Amino acid sequence: MNYFDTIRESIAVIESRLPEGVAVGELADRCHMSRYYYQRIFKALTGLNVKEYIDQRRMAEAARLIRETDRRMLDIALDCGYGSHEAFTRKFKTCYGITPEACRRECPDLPIRMPLQVVEREFVHHHKELMVPFRSERLTSVRILRGRSRSFHPDREEEQDLLTEMVTGLAMDYGRRQEITVLYNVSCPDPNNGSCVLYYSGFEPAEDGLFAELEKFVLPAGDYAVFRYTMDLKGKHRTVIRDMFRSVLLAGIRLRDGDGIHFFERYGSEYKHDRTFEMWLPVQS
């Protein structure tokens, strides 16, 4: 059984029946699984249980209707599967921190849950849990030139296009002057916004003195958990991040903090051929 195709089919069913909802038991029966095993597979592949996903998708549709139409709140609540305005308001405020009325009045930029893309990747069993495998590496410090940076909210999937444009632009601009054999994308805390991540791209210079206009940055030495993926990261950023943190915690490994970075992506020559890249997560030895 291909679990990835199975969960993709489940998501299609959920999306087609968002207002009325669909029971976990029905989804499990469609996949010929027990309810317990089905929920384990769904959460391992998506990071959410079925109810969480349905709630988040209903809220996303509600937020869209609130901002794009002038329909009554009760009508929106009923269309999104909530039996009363009160229940709808409680769920909306829990999800977004504001009431539906405030959302329409202020039209804030909300982190909207888009339909899930099920990312195919390797899993291994670890104490009856599914996790993504990784290897341990000790890194000596790497000096790179920081080319471009951008602050983004990790829960806003629509911002991934802007990151992709930024990285592509750097490779094109500086690749004319030096062949970039290894590209690094680094995620750091944003000092100006605690809910955002500062994301920047850089590369190792072929020789000292090149690109004097670029700021130097050192990737800290130490122990890392290294995850290997073969795919396009666009639209799958949250899935990959969740994989990393979940896997190291299941393995009983502690994260290393205080180095000024969350993690970094490493793109070598393989990426040009088959989209293989690595994610390096700092951990304690």
On the question of pLDDT at 12 being above 90, the answer is yes
Structure tokens at 263: 């993690």
pTM of the full structure:
0.77
Count of domains forming the chain: 2
CATH number at residue 201: 3.20.80.10
Q: Are residues 46 and 139 in the same domain?
A: no
pLDDT (tens digit per residue) in 234-271:
767 778 888 899 899 889 999 998 678 999 999 988 88
Q: Are residues 106 and 140 in the same domain?
A: no
Is 168 inside a domain boundary?
Answer: yes
Q: Are residues 207 and 248 in the same domain?
A: yes
CA–CA distance, 142 with 203 (Å, rounded to integer): 10
Q: Are residues 258 and 157 in the same domain?
A: yes
CATH number at residue 77: 1.10.10.60
The percent helix, strand, coil of the chain (3-state, each to 5) is 40, 20, 35
pLDDT (tens digit per residue) in 110-161:
777 778 778 778 888 887 778 899 999 999 988 898 888 888 877 776 677 7
